[in-house]
Structure 1
Amino acid sequence: MKEQFNKSLENLIDKLIRWFNTIIENIPNFILAILVMIAAYFTAKYISKLVVKLVGKKVEQDSIKKAIARVSAVVVVTLGLFVALGVLNLSKALTSLLAGAGVVGLAIGLALQGTLANTFAGLMLSFRKKIQIGHWVETTGYSGEVIDINLKDFTLKEADNNLVIIPNKTILENPLKNYSLTTRMRVFLECGVGYESDLEKVEQLTKQVIANSFDQVKSADDVEFYYTEFGDSSINYLCRFWIEAESMLAKLRAKTTAIIEIKKAYDKEGINIPFPIRTLEFNNKLNLQSNQDSSKPSN
């Protein structure tokens, strides 16, 4: 029993001595590995700041800039960790770490497919020059001003001040109309006048009123005017003209102004804008003789 104890003690001491010798031999490697990690840390901080400055020239959103900077810092620190493990001759640990990272990454990717899709879509949207914060856009049935683009969603503020939050993936996969990419918009105005109206006078008056109401319309000749149909109660027309505007609200204001001024001009000139009516005609010439004959009793 005593011999077994002494033998076990000798083995333990032998192992401790070998470990100690190994540590002494690898002290330079330990120091070098620590220096590598310290260098990687400070390099990551510098690259993070540099990435924020570079990305800031293309992207306005702070959330996107910070996310890209963090990813860059993580990549640099990870590379430093791999170099440090290589310095310590831990190639097997490095291989196991890479294999584990691959398995974990696959599992996370499968579990967060929707989230990752929105994240990558947010990055792509942030670098698109045709979609910027402050633009007035219309997509997936919603219309409003873009007030935020982050890694998860796309936020619109509608004309009624309601906020609409749309997943980035939805924005990227659906058509989007951007009213702010051009400084000109065309206003469409439809109306109708009574059948008794002088159609040539209506056309000239309408075009002149619009030309006088908007500085962007140089003359009446710049206003398009077309009669479109004989309606049930009126002769309908379509009027079109260009204005300087970058949002749907400006277009609606211009249309409102045009309707008000046209109504004033029509009232002054006695031009009727009829509303739908239905006229019922009754024939009062009754055939009394036939009625009387039918009322006589038959023999």
Structure 2
Amino acid sequence: MESTITTAFNDLIDKLQGWLSAIIQNIPNLILAIIVMAAAFFMARYIRKFVLKLVKKRVPQESVANIIAKISAVVIVVAGLFLALGILNLSKMLTSLLAGAGVAGLAIGLALQGTLSNTFAGIVISFRKRIQIGNWVETNGYSGEVIDVNLKEFVLKEADNNIVVIPNKMILENPLKNYSLTTRMRVFLECGVGYESDLEEVEKLTKEVIAKTFDQVERPDDVEFYYTEFGDSSINYLCRFWIDAESMLEKLKSKTKAIIEIKKAYDKAGINIPFPIRTLQFDNELNFDESVLSNGYSNN
């Protein structure tokens, strides 16, 4: 029994001596690995601040700028960790870490597929110069001012002050119309006049009213005017002209102003804007047989 204990104790001492020798031999590598990790940590802090300052110049959304800066810091720390493990000759552990990170990343990616897609879509949208906060856009059946773009959603404020929250991935997957990219918008105005109207006079008067109402229209010939059809109660036309505007709200205000001024001019000139009516016309006189009527009453 004593010999067994002695043998086990000697084996333990030999094992500890072997570990001690290995530690002593690897002290330079251990110190170098610690220095690499410390350098990576401090470098990550400065790189995070630098990336945050750089991204904020391009991306107004603070949440998106912070996540990009944090990702850059994590990349630096992970690179330092892998380099330190390589210095310590722990290649097997490095391989195991990479394999584990790959499996964990796959599992997390499948579990958070929708969230991650919105996150990356938010980052992509934030770097798009043609989509900025304050722009008036139309997308996914909604129209309004962009008030926020974060890592999850795209937020619009409609003309009636309603807030619309749209997932970021839907913005990338669907068409988007940005009215703020240009400083000019075209107003379309449809109307109709009575069949008794002088069509040439109507065209001339409409163009003159538009030119007087809007400073952007320098002369009546700049207004496009086309008769489109013979309607049920009127001869219909389409009028188009350009205005200086960057939002649908300004366009609606201009269209309202044009309608008011055209109605005033038509009333003054005696031009009729008819509404749908139905006329019942009886051209034939009805002949009643008195004998039939009398027989009918007598039978009753």
Q: Normalised by the shorter chain, which TM-score bucket? A: over 0.9
Partner deviation per Cα, 1:84-116 (whole Å, 9 max, x = no partner): 111222111111111111111222222222222
Q: Say if 1:296 and 1:106 are closer, same or farther in 2 by CA, change over 3 A.
A: closer
Which stretches in structure 2 are left out of the alignment for 5+ residues? 296-300
Match in the other structure for 1:115: 115
State the distance in 2 between where 1:192 and 1:99 align. 73
* Other structure's SS at 1:44 match: helix
Structure 1 counterpart of 2:253: 253
Structure 2 residue aligned with 1:285: 285
TM-score w.r.t. the length of structure 1 is: 0.92
Amino acid at match of 1:209: V
Aligned residue in 2 for 1:79: 79
- For the residue of structure 2 that corresponds to 1:240, the secondary structure is strand
* Cα deviation code 1:42-78 (max 9, x no counterpart): 1111211222233233322222211111111111100
Separation in 2 of the partners of 1:123 and 1:295? 87
Q: In the alignment, which residue of structure 2 is the partner of 1:222?
A: 222
How far, CA to CA, are the matches of 2:284 and 2:290 in structure 1? 17
Length-normalised TM-score, structure 2: 0.92
SS of the residue 1:228 aligns to: strand
- Over the matched positions of the two proteins, sequence identity in percent amounts to 73
Pairs aligned (count): 295
Question: 1:158: Cα distance to partner?
Answer: 1.0
Corresponding residue of 1:233: 233
What is the CA-CA distance between 1:295 and the residue it aligns to? 5.5
Q: Does 1:5 align with 2:8?
A: no
Q: Which residue number in structure 1 is paired with residue 200 of structure 2?
A: 200
> What is the alpha-carbon distance in structure 2 between the residues aligned to residue 200 and residue 101 of structure 1?
77
* 1:181 corresponds to: 181
Show the counterpart of 1:50.
50
Find the aligned partners of 1:243 and 1:162 in 2 and give their Cα distance.
26
Deviation by residue 1:188-233 (Cα, 9 ceiling, x = unmatched): 0111122222222221111111111111010111111111112111
- Please give the root-mean-square deviation of Cα atoms over the aligned residues, in Å: 1.8
Aligned to 2:298: none
Gaps of 5+ in 1: none
Residue 283 (structure 1) shift: 4.0
